């Protein structure tokens, strides 16, 4: 066997090994697989990878929770202010900015009642903790420990009309017109006040 024939045989064997596995490349038939992830354009020029998409999703989730928690805290701060001044006939702009739906209706009715009967509520509700629970699209759930046990509702004649309590609540928030607002409050089945 001549040298040329031997080299040709070695080359053919190398091509065969490359096509069957091991080193080398093989051509693939059919379309490229479609990725199950996508990235938000960020101007970095980096290609979209599964890791980058996951990092962006984590960041978006953290931002959503932070915005919803901020809305909740700002709403309760406004509620405490409104209760201390004796309620209001209709919800304030701040209340409407951070809440909607059943949540806003419930608290609006309460502060309207204070206004009607000339009562005040002090010192208000303290938010001891807030925890993220779940998120799906434009809806998320938070769990909070609210302490209103020092809160006293006092009528215009000085009579105590009610006292607050401490407990765990579950809050539902939605993204409405680009902003997260609290839309519903429920008693929480999970106790977070004693953690």
- What is the rounded distance in angstroms from the CA atom of residue 109 to the CA atom of residue 103? 10
What pLDDT, in 10s, does the model give residues 34-85? 667 677 777 777 888 888 778 878 898 999 999 999 999 999 999 999 999 9
The confidence band for 31, taking pLDDT boundaries of 50, 70 and 90, is low
The confidence band for 137, taking pLDDT boundaries of 50, 70 and 90, is very high
What sign for the dihedral angle of Cα 49, 50, 55, 58? Answer: positive
Task: Say what the pTM is.
Answer: 0.76
Q: What is the pLDDT of residue 2?
A: 46
Pick the CATH number of 64-187 from 2.60.40.10, 1.20.120.530, 1.10.10.60, 3.10.450.50: 3.10.450.50
The confidence band for 5, taking pLDDT boundaries of 50, 70 and 90, is very low
For residue 153, list its beta bridge partners: 121, 162
Q: What is the pLDDT of residue 12?
A: 39
CB 170 within 8 A of CB 143: yes
Alpha helices in the chain (DSSP H): 3-20, 50-84, 93-98, 101-117
19 has a pLDDT exceeding 70: no
Tokens 């809806």 -> residue: 139
Q: What is the pLDDT of residue 130?
A: 97
Give percent of the chain above pLDDT 70: 81
Tokens 């769990």 -> residue: 143
CB 193 within 8 A of CB 169: no
The confidence band for 32, taking pLDDT boundaries of 50, 70 and 90, is low
For residue 164, what are the CA distances in angstroms to 7, 115, 153, 182? 91, 18, 8, 21
The residues spanned by each domain of the chain are: 64-187
């Amino acid at each position: 066997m001549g040298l040329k024939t031997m080299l040709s045989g070695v080359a053919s064997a190398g091509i065969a090994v490359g096509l069957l596995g091991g080193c080398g490349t093989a051509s693939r038939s059919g379309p490229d697989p479609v990725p199950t992830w996508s990235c938000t354009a960020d101007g970095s020029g980096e290609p979209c990878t599964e890791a980058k998409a996951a990092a962006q999703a984590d960041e978006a989730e953290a931002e959503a929770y932070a915005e919803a928690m901020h809305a909740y805290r700002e709403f309760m701060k406004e509620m405490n202010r409104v209760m201390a001044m004796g309620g209001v006939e209709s919800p304030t702009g701040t209340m409407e900015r951070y809440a909607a739906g059943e949540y806003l209706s419930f608290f609006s009715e309460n502060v309207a009642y204070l206004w009607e009967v000339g009562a005040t509520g002090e010192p208000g509700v303290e938010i001891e903790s807030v925890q993220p629970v779940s998120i799906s699209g434009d809806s998320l759930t938070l769990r909070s420990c609210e302490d209103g046990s020092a809160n006293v509702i006092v009528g215009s004649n000085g009579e105590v009309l009610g006292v607050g309590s401490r407990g765990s609540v579950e809050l539902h928030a939605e993204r409405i017109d680009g902003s997260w607002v609290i839309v519903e409050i429920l008693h929480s089945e999970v106790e977070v006040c004693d953690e």
